[in-house]
Amino acid sequence: MHHFASDGSSDRPAPDARTGLWLVGARGSVATTATLGLAAIADGRAAPTGCVTVSEPFASAPLPAFGDLVVGGHDISDVSMVKHAEQLVEAGMIAPRLLTAAHAALERADAEVRPGYTAHPAEGSPRESQQAAAERLAADIVDFRERHGLARVVVVDLVSTEPLPEPGPELSDRELLRAALADPERAVLPPSSVTAYAALLAGAPFAEFTPSASMHLPVLLEIAAERGVPVAGQDGKTGQTWLRTILAPAFAARGLRVLSWAGANLLGGGDGATLADPEAVQSKLASKSRGLQDLTGSQVTPLHIDNVPDLGDIKVAWDHVHVEGFLGSRLTLQTTWSAYDSMLAAPLVLDLARLLALADAAGYGGPVPELGFFFKDPWGSDVHDFAAQTVALADWVREAAARVGAAPADRP
Protein backbone atom coordinates (compact mmCIF):
# COMPACT_ATOMS: atom_id res chain seq x y z
CA MET A 1 0.00 0.00 0.00
CA HIS A 2 1.40 3.36 -1.02
CA HIS A 3 1.48 6.44 1.17
CA PHE A 4 1.19 9.78 -0.58
CA ALA A 5 2.07 13.24 0.65
CA SER A 6 -0.98 15.13 1.84
CA ASP A 7 -0.32 17.97 -0.57
CA GLY A 8 0.04 15.69 -3.61
CA SER A 9 2.79 16.10 -6.16
CA SER A 10 1.62 19.13 -8.15
CA ASP A 11 3.72 21.66 -6.20
CA ARG A 12 6.84 19.53 -6.00
CA PRO A 13 9.91 20.20 -8.18
CA ALA A 14 10.15 18.18 -11.38
CA PRO A 15 11.76 14.74 -10.95
CA ASP A 16 14.30 15.39 -13.70
CA ALA A 17 15.64 18.60 -12.13
CA ARG A 18 19.12 18.87 -10.60
CA THR A 19 19.28 16.50 -7.66
CA GLY A 20 21.68 16.07 -4.78
CA LEU A 21 23.11 12.65 -3.98
CA TRP A 22 24.16 12.74 -0.32
CA LEU A 23 26.29 9.73 0.54
CA VAL A 24 26.68 8.75 4.18
CA GLY A 25 30.06 7.06 4.31
CA ALA A 26 31.08 9.29 1.41
CA ARG A 27 34.79 8.43 1.59
CA GLY A 28 34.28 4.66 1.55
CA SER A 29 34.78 2.30 -1.39
CA VAL A 30 31.18 2.17 -2.63
CA ALA A 31 30.63 5.93 -2.41
CA THR A 32 33.97 6.72 -4.05
CA THR A 33 33.28 4.23 -6.85
CA ALA A 34 29.78 5.64 -7.39
CA THR A 35 31.10 9.21 -7.50
CA LEU A 36 33.91 8.39 -9.90
CA GLY A 37 31.58 6.31 -12.06
CA LEU A 38 28.98 9.07 -12.11
CA ALA A 39 31.58 11.54 -13.37
CA ALA A 40 32.76 9.11 -16.06
CA ILE A 41 29.20 8.44 -17.24
CA ALA A 42 28.24 12.12 -17.25
CA ASP A 43 31.33 12.97 -19.33
CA GLY A 44 30.70 10.15 -21.78
CA ARG A 45 33.93 8.36 -20.83
CA ALA A 46 32.11 5.25 -19.62
CA ALA A 47 28.83 3.54 -20.40
CA PRO A 48 26.26 3.17 -17.58
CA THR A 49 26.60 -0.62 -17.67
CA GLY A 50 24.94 -2.16 -14.63
CA CYS A 51 22.50 0.73 -14.14
CA VAL A 52 18.92 -0.49 -14.35
CA THR A 53 17.49 2.95 -15.10
CA VAL A 54 19.01 3.28 -18.57
CA SER A 55 16.67 0.67 -20.09
CA GLU A 56 12.91 0.84 -20.62
CA PRO A 57 10.57 1.72 -19.04
CA PHE A 58 12.96 3.77 -16.93
CA ALA A 59 14.71 5.48 -19.85
CA SER A 60 11.43 7.15 -20.83
CA ALA A 61 10.57 8.20 -17.26
CA PRO A 62 11.36 11.73 -16.06
CA LEU A 63 14.47 10.89 -14.04
CA PRO A 64 17.35 13.26 -13.31
CA ALA A 65 20.14 12.84 -15.84
CA PHE A 66 23.43 11.47 -14.56
CA GLY A 67 24.95 14.88 -15.22
CA ASP A 68 22.31 16.48 -13.00
CA LEU A 69 23.34 14.53 -9.89
CA VAL A 70 25.48 16.60 -7.49
CA VAL A 71 27.41 14.66 -4.84
CA GLY A 72 28.08 15.48 -1.20
CA GLY A 73 27.92 13.53 2.03
CA HIS A 74 28.89 12.75 5.59
CA ASP A 75 31.83 10.74 6.88
CA ILE A 76 33.97 10.44 9.99
CA SER A 77 37.07 9.51 7.94
CA ASP A 78 39.70 12.08 6.96
CA VAL A 79 40.95 9.99 4.00
CA SER A 80 39.79 11.93 0.93
CA MET A 81 37.79 10.43 -1.92
CA VAL A 82 40.74 11.07 -4.25
CA LYS A 83 43.11 9.19 -1.94
CA HIS A 84 40.63 6.30 -1.62
CA ALA A 85 40.23 6.22 -5.40
CA GLU A 86 44.01 6.03 -5.77
CA GLN A 87 43.97 2.99 -3.48
CA LEU A 88 41.28 1.37 -5.65
CA VAL A 89 43.39 2.02 -8.75
CA GLU A 90 46.41 0.42 -7.07
CA ALA A 91 44.24 -2.59 -6.22
CA GLY A 92 43.40 -2.99 -9.92
CA MET A 93 39.71 -2.20 -9.52
CA ILE A 94 39.60 1.13 -11.37
CA ALA A 95 41.42 2.04 -14.57
CA PRO A 96 43.99 4.85 -14.04
CA ARG A 97 42.60 6.83 -16.99
CA LEU A 98 39.19 7.03 -15.29
CA LEU A 99 40.71 8.40 -12.11
CA THR A 100 42.62 11.01 -14.13
CA ALA A 101 39.43 12.10 -15.88
CA ALA A 102 37.35 12.12 -12.68
CA HIS A 103 39.95 13.70 -10.41
CA ALA A 104 38.33 17.15 -10.37
CA ALA A 105 34.85 15.68 -9.81
CA LEU A 106 36.13 13.68 -6.84
CA GLU A 107 37.75 16.79 -5.37
CA ARG A 108 34.50 18.75 -5.77
CA ALA A 109 32.49 16.00 -4.10
CA ASP A 110 35.03 15.60 -1.29
CA ALA A 111 34.85 19.35 -0.59
CA GLU A 112 31.14 18.80 0.15
CA VAL A 113 31.77 16.08 2.76
CA ARG A 114 30.85 17.12 6.30
CA PRO A 115 31.65 15.40 9.63
CA GLY A 116 29.30 12.48 10.25
CA TYR A 117 27.91 11.10 13.47
CA THR A 118 29.54 8.46 15.62
CA ALA A 119 28.40 7.04 18.93
CA HIS A 120 32.05 7.01 20.01
CA PRO A 121 33.54 10.49 19.49
CA ALA A 122 37.28 11.01 19.82
CA GLU A 123 38.60 11.64 23.30
CA GLY A 124 38.29 15.31 24.17
CA SER A 125 35.52 15.95 21.64
CA PRO A 126 32.32 17.46 23.03
CA ARG A 127 29.50 14.96 23.40
CA GLU A 128 26.33 16.01 21.58
CA SER A 129 22.88 14.59 22.13
CA GLN A 130 21.49 12.44 19.33
CA GLN A 131 18.80 15.07 18.73
CA ALA A 132 21.48 17.72 18.29
CA ALA A 133 23.46 15.38 16.05
CA ALA A 134 20.44 14.68 13.84
CA GLU A 135 19.68 18.39 13.58
CA ARG A 136 23.32 19.10 12.65
CA LEU A 137 23.30 16.43 9.95
CA ALA A 138 19.95 17.66 8.62
CA ALA A 139 21.25 21.24 8.48
CA ASP A 140 24.19 20.05 6.35
CA ILE A 141 21.77 18.44 3.88
CA VAL A 142 19.53 21.52 3.70
CA ASP A 143 22.55 23.82 3.26
CA PHE A 144 23.83 21.62 0.43
CA ARG A 145 20.44 21.75 -1.29
CA GLU A 146 20.15 25.53 -0.99
CA ARG A 147 23.73 26.40 -1.95
CA HIS A 148 23.53 24.37 -5.15
CA GLY A 149 19.95 25.28 -6.02
CA LEU A 150 18.88 21.63 -6.05
CA ALA A 151 15.30 20.44 -6.42
CA ARG A 152 15.88 17.82 -3.72
CA VAL A 153 18.60 15.75 -2.07
CA VAL A 154 18.51 11.95 -1.92
CA VAL A 155 20.39 10.44 1.04
CA VAL A 156 21.93 6.96 0.70
CA ASP A 157 23.52 5.30 3.74
CA LEU A 158 26.66 3.35 2.78
CA VAL A 159 28.36 3.14 6.18
CA SER A 160 29.82 -0.20 7.27
CA THR A 161 27.43 -2.64 8.92
CA GLU A 162 26.83 -1.90 12.60
CA PRO A 163 25.98 -4.42 15.34
CA LEU A 164 22.32 -5.10 15.98
CA PRO A 165 21.04 -2.68 18.64
CA GLU A 166 20.57 -3.85 22.20
CA PRO A 167 16.93 -4.42 23.18
CA GLY A 168 15.75 -1.15 24.70
CA PRO A 169 12.64 0.81 25.59
CA GLU A 170 9.82 0.88 23.10
CA LEU A 171 10.17 4.28 21.47
CA SER A 172 6.93 4.30 19.50
CA ASP A 173 5.78 7.45 21.29
CA ARG A 174 7.33 10.55 19.73
CA GLU A 175 7.56 12.54 22.90
CA LEU A 176 9.41 9.67 24.57
CA LEU A 177 11.71 9.44 21.57
CA ARG A 178 12.35 13.19 21.55
CA ALA A 179 13.13 13.21 25.27
CA ALA A 180 15.50 10.28 24.93
CA LEU A 181 17.33 11.83 21.99
CA ALA A 182 17.79 15.11 23.83
CA ASP A 183 19.91 13.52 26.57
CA PRO A 184 23.62 13.93 25.71
CA GLU A 185 24.54 11.14 28.13
CA ARG A 186 22.44 8.54 26.31
CA ALA A 187 22.82 6.95 22.88
CA VAL A 188 19.36 5.48 22.44
CA LEU A 189 19.51 4.97 18.69
CA PRO A 190 22.21 3.24 16.65
CA PRO A 191 24.09 5.68 14.36
CA SER A 192 22.20 4.49 11.26
CA SER A 193 18.90 5.51 12.87
CA VAL A 194 20.29 8.96 13.70
CA THR A 195 21.25 9.24 10.02
CA ALA A 196 17.76 8.20 8.92
CA TYR A 197 16.13 10.63 11.37
CA ALA A 198 18.33 13.44 10.02
CA ALA A 199 17.16 12.73 6.47
CA LEU A 200 13.54 12.98 7.64
CA LEU A 201 14.23 16.28 9.40
CA ALA A 202 15.71 17.57 6.13
CA GLY A 203 12.79 16.25 4.07
CA ALA A 204 15.25 14.20 2.02
CA PRO A 205 14.32 10.86 0.37
CA PHE A 206 16.38 8.14 2.02
CA ALA A 207 17.78 4.71 1.13
CA GLU A 208 19.42 2.29 3.57
CA PHE A 209 21.94 0.29 1.54
CA THR A 210 23.33 -1.60 4.57
CA PRO A 211 21.71 -4.16 6.90
CA SER A 212 21.98 -1.74 9.85
CA ALA A 213 18.93 -0.90 11.99
CA SER A 214 18.16 2.47 10.38
CA MET A 215 14.38 2.96 10.09
CA HIS A 216 13.36 -0.23 11.84
CA LEU A 217 12.07 2.03 14.60
CA PRO A 218 8.34 2.22 13.70
CA VAL A 219 8.05 5.88 14.64
CA LEU A 220 10.60 6.83 11.97
CA LEU A 221 8.58 5.11 9.25
CA GLU A 222 5.47 6.88 10.54
CA ILE A 223 7.23 10.24 10.33
CA ALA A 224 8.39 9.44 6.78
CA ALA A 225 4.82 8.65 5.69
CA GLU A 226 3.33 11.71 7.38
CA ARG A 227 5.93 14.10 5.97
CA GLY A 228 5.71 12.62 2.50
CA VAL A 229 9.35 11.50 2.46
CA PRO A 230 9.88 8.35 0.34
CA VAL A 231 12.27 5.81 1.84
CA ALA A 232 13.66 2.47 0.66
CA GLY A 233 15.80 -0.29 2.15
CA GLN A 234 17.48 -2.32 3.26
CA ASP A 235 20.81 -3.99 2.48
CA GLY A 236 21.62 -3.74 -1.20
CA LYS A 237 21.01 -6.95 -3.18
CA THR A 238 24.17 -6.84 -5.26
CA GLY A 239 25.44 -10.35 -5.91
CA GLN A 240 25.02 -13.65 -4.11
CA THR A 241 21.55 -12.86 -2.74
CA TRP A 242 20.46 -11.53 -6.14
CA LEU A 243 21.41 -14.86 -7.72
CA ARG A 244 19.68 -16.78 -4.93
CA THR A 245 16.41 -14.87 -5.46
CA ILE A 246 16.52 -15.88 -9.13
CA LEU A 247 17.31 -19.56 -8.58
CA ALA A 248 15.10 -20.30 -5.55
CA PRO A 249 11.82 -19.38 -7.30
CA ALA A 250 12.89 -21.50 -10.28
CA PHE A 251 13.20 -24.59 -8.07
CA ALA A 252 9.78 -23.87 -6.56
CA ALA A 253 8.21 -23.34 -10.00
CA ARG A 254 9.45 -26.79 -11.06
CA GLY A 255 7.97 -28.41 -7.95
CA LEU A 256 11.40 -29.27 -6.53
CA ARG A 257 12.05 -29.19 -2.78
CA VAL A 258 15.15 -27.48 -1.44
CA LEU A 259 16.63 -29.56 1.37
CA SER A 260 19.54 -27.29 2.22
CA TRP A 261 21.22 -24.23 0.82
CA ALA A 262 24.65 -23.61 2.31
CA GLY A 263 26.77 -20.61 1.40
CA ALA A 264 29.95 -18.77 2.17
CA ASN A 265 31.37 -15.32 1.50
CA LEU A 266 35.08 -14.54 1.40
CA LEU A 267 35.94 -10.86 1.40
CA GLY A 268 38.57 -8.42 2.57
CA GLY A 269 38.80 -4.65 2.75
CA GLY A 270 36.78 -2.59 5.18
CA ASP A 271 33.72 -4.83 4.92
CA GLY A 272 35.74 -7.93 5.65
CA ALA A 273 37.24 -6.33 8.75
CA THR A 274 33.85 -5.06 9.94
CA LEU A 275 32.10 -8.38 9.41
CA ALA A 276 34.83 -10.24 11.25
CA ASP A 277 33.16 -8.79 14.35
CA PRO A 278 30.70 -11.50 15.47
CA GLU A 279 28.22 -8.86 16.64
CA ALA A 280 28.32 -6.78 13.46
CA VAL A 281 27.97 -9.81 11.20
CA GLN A 282 24.66 -10.91 12.71
CA SER A 283 22.56 -8.28 10.90
CA LYS A 284 24.25 -9.20 7.60
CA LEU A 285 23.60 -12.91 8.07
CA ALA A 286 19.96 -12.21 8.94
CA SER A 287 19.31 -10.07 5.86
CA LYS A 288 21.07 -12.53 3.52
CA SER A 289 19.14 -15.52 4.89
CA ARG A 290 15.64 -14.15 5.45
CA GLY A 291 14.58 -13.92 1.80
CA LEU A 292 15.99 -17.33 0.94
CA GLN A 293 14.15 -18.92 3.85
CA ASP A 294 10.90 -17.33 2.67
CA LEU A 295 11.43 -18.51 -0.91
CA THR A 296 12.38 -22.10 -0.07
CA GLY A 297 10.27 -22.66 3.02
CA SER A 298 13.38 -24.14 4.61
CA GLN A 299 15.30 -23.09 7.69
CA VAL A 300 18.29 -25.16 6.57
CA THR A 301 20.23 -22.29 5.04
CA PRO A 302 23.56 -21.97 6.88
CA LEU A 303 25.78 -19.13 5.73
CA HIS A 304 29.09 -17.86 6.99
CA ILE A 305 31.28 -14.89 6.13
CA ASP A 306 35.08 -15.02 6.36
CA ASN A 307 37.49 -12.10 6.37
CA VAL A 308 40.33 -12.72 3.91
CA PRO A 309 42.34 -9.46 3.99
CA ASP A 310 44.38 -10.08 0.84
CA LEU A 311 41.20 -10.16 -1.28
CA GLY A 312 40.71 -6.43 -0.72
CA ASP A 313 37.46 -5.29 -2.36
CA ILE A 314 36.96 -8.59 -4.19
CA LYS A 315 34.15 -10.75 -2.86
CA VAL A 316 34.02 -14.50 -3.51
CA ALA A 317 30.62 -16.13 -3.03
CA TRP A 318 29.98 -19.87 -2.99
CA ASP A 319 26.69 -21.78 -2.70
CA HIS A 320 25.86 -25.46 -2.38
CA VAL A 321 22.20 -26.32 -3.05
CA HIS A 322 20.78 -29.77 -2.27
CA VAL A 323 17.37 -30.45 -3.83
CA GLU A 324 14.89 -33.34 -3.73
CA GLY A 325 13.29 -34.26 -7.04
CA PHE A 326 11.03 -36.93 -8.53
CA LEU A 327 10.76 -40.20 -6.56
CA GLY A 328 13.20 -38.92 -3.96
CA SER A 329 16.03 -38.36 -6.42
CA ARG A 330 18.62 -35.76 -5.47
CA LEU A 331 20.01 -32.82 -7.40
CA THR A 332 23.02 -30.76 -6.39
CA LEU A 333 23.86 -27.29 -7.71
CA GLN A 334 27.04 -25.40 -6.87
CA THR A 335 27.76 -21.80 -7.84
CA THR A 336 30.95 -19.80 -7.41
CA TRP A 337 31.57 -16.27 -8.48
CA SER A 338 33.81 -13.34 -7.65
CA ALA A 339 33.52 -9.63 -8.30
CA TYR A 340 34.59 -6.27 -6.96
CA ASP A 341 31.82 -5.67 -4.46
CA SER A 342 31.84 -1.89 -4.92
CA MET A 343 31.43 -2.31 -8.68
CA LEU A 344 28.25 -4.29 -8.05
CA ALA A 345 26.87 -1.76 -5.57
CA ALA A 346 27.78 1.58 -7.17
CA PRO A 347 25.40 1.47 -10.17
CA LEU A 348 22.50 0.53 -7.88
CA VAL A 349 23.24 3.58 -5.72
CA LEU A 350 22.94 5.79 -8.81
CA ASP A 351 19.69 4.03 -9.78
CA LEU A 352 18.24 4.60 -6.32
CA ALA A 353 19.09 8.29 -6.42
CA ARG A 354 17.23 8.70 -9.72
CA LEU A 355 14.21 6.61 -8.70
CA LEU A 356 13.81 8.21 -5.27
CA ALA A 357 13.85 11.61 -6.99
CA LEU A 358 10.90 10.39 -9.07
CA ALA A 359 9.15 9.01 -5.98
CA ASP A 360 9.53 12.36 -4.22
CA ALA A 361 8.20 14.32 -7.19
CA ALA A 362 5.25 11.94 -7.48
CA GLY A 363 4.30 12.51 -3.84
CA TYR A 364 5.14 9.12 -2.32
CA GLY A 365 5.82 9.03 1.40
CA GLY A 366 7.09 6.24 3.62
CA PRO A 367 8.47 2.94 2.31
CA VAL A 368 8.25 2.38 -1.45
CA PRO A 369 7.80 -1.42 -1.61
CA GLU A 370 8.62 -1.68 -5.31
CA LEU A 371 12.15 -0.43 -4.66
CA GLY A 372 12.59 -3.74 -2.82
CA PHE A 373 14.01 -4.82 -6.20
CA PHE A 374 17.31 -3.39 -4.93
CA PHE A 375 17.33 -4.92 -1.45
CA LYS A 376 17.77 -8.19 0.42
CA ASP A 377 15.27 -7.29 3.14
CA PRO A 378 12.83 -4.84 1.50
CA TRP A 379 10.83 -2.37 3.57
CA GLY A 380 7.09 -2.54 3.06
CA SER A 381 7.23 -5.80 1.11
CA ASP A 382 7.54 -9.53 1.74
CA VAL A 383 8.28 -10.25 -1.94
CA HIS A 384 11.79 -11.66 -2.56
CA ASP A 385 11.31 -13.32 -5.98
CA PHE A 386 13.52 -11.24 -8.28
CA ALA A 387 11.37 -11.79 -11.37
CA ALA A 388 8.28 -10.60 -9.50
CA GLN A 389 10.22 -7.62 -8.14
CA THR A 390 11.34 -6.71 -11.66
CA VAL A 391 7.75 -6.59 -12.94
CA ALA A 392 6.60 -4.64 -9.88
CA LEU A 393 9.35 -2.05 -10.28
CA ALA A 394 8.55 -1.50 -13.97
CA ASP A 395 4.84 -1.11 -13.18
CA TRP A 396 5.63 1.32 -10.37
CA VAL A 397 7.80 3.59 -12.52
CA ARG A 398 4.92 3.90 -15.01
CA GLU A 399 2.55 4.77 -12.18
CA ALA A 400 4.97 7.31 -10.69
CA ALA A 401 5.70 8.90 -14.06
CA ALA A 402 1.98 9.21 -14.74
CA ARG A 403 1.53 10.97 -11.40
CA VAL A 404 3.91 13.69 -12.50
CA GLY A 405 2.38 13.85 -15.98
CA ALA A 406 4.94 11.99 -18.06
CA ALA A 407 4.10 8.37 -18.77
CA PRO A 408 7.06 6.25 -19.99
CA ALA A 409 6.90 3.80 -22.84
CA ASP A 410 4.48 0.90 -22.64
CA ARG A 411 5.85 -2.46 -21.75
CA PRO A 412 6.92 -4.42 -24.87
**Residue 117 Cα distances to 114, 133, 200, 263, angstroms:** 10, 7, 16, 34
Closest-CA residue to 225 (of 14, 397, 369): 369
| DSSP structural state of residue 18 | -
**Amino acid (one-letter) located at 83:** K
Separation between Cα atoms, residue 318 and residue 10, nearest integer Å? 48
Q: Check residue 1 and give its pLDDT.
A: 57
CB 305 within 8 A of CB 287: no
Sequence letter at residue 205: P
Reference 24, options 118, 145, 116, 140; nearest CA is: 116
**The pLDDT value given to residue 218:** 82
Q: At the top level of CATH, which class does the domain 19-236+344-406 belong to?
A: alpha beta
Q: List beta partners, residue 324.
A: 257, 330
| CA-only gyration radius of the chain, Å | 21
d(CA 256, CA 270): 39
CATH topology agreement for domains 19-236+344-406 and 240-339: no
Give me the sheet containing 257-267, strands edge to edge: 303-307, 257-267, 314-324, 330-340
Q: How confident is the prediction along the chain (412 residues), in pLDDT tens digits per residue?
A: 576 664 445 568 888 789 999 999 999 999 999 999 999 999 999 999 999 999 999 999 999 999 999 999 999 999 999 999 999 999 899 999 999 999 999 999 999 999 999 877 776 677 788 999 999 999 999 999 999 999 999 999 999 878 766 555 555 557 667 776 887 777 778 899 999 999 999 999 999 999 988 888 788 999 999 999 999 999 999 988 899 999 999 999 999 999 989 888 888 766 655 555 555 456 555 656 666 777 777 665 667 788 888 888 888 999 999 999 999 999 999 999 899 999 999 999 999 999 999 999 999 999 999 999 999 999 999 999 999 999 999 999 999 999 998 545 443 2
Distance of CA 174 to CAs 170, 178, 228, Å? 11, 6, 17
DSSP state of 375: B
Tally the residues of the chain.
Answer: 412
> Which pLDDT score, from 0 to 100, does residue 412 have?
29
| Domain parsing of the chain, residue ranges | 19-236+344-406, 240-339
What is the CB neighbour count within 10 angstroms for residue 77?
16
104 CB-near residues (< 8 Å, 6+ apart): none
Q: Span 240-339: which CATH code?
A: 3.30.360.10
* DSSP 8-state secondary structure symbol assigned to residue 64: P
C-alpha to C-alpha distance for 337 and 318, rounded to whole angstroms: 7
pLDDT score of 23: 98
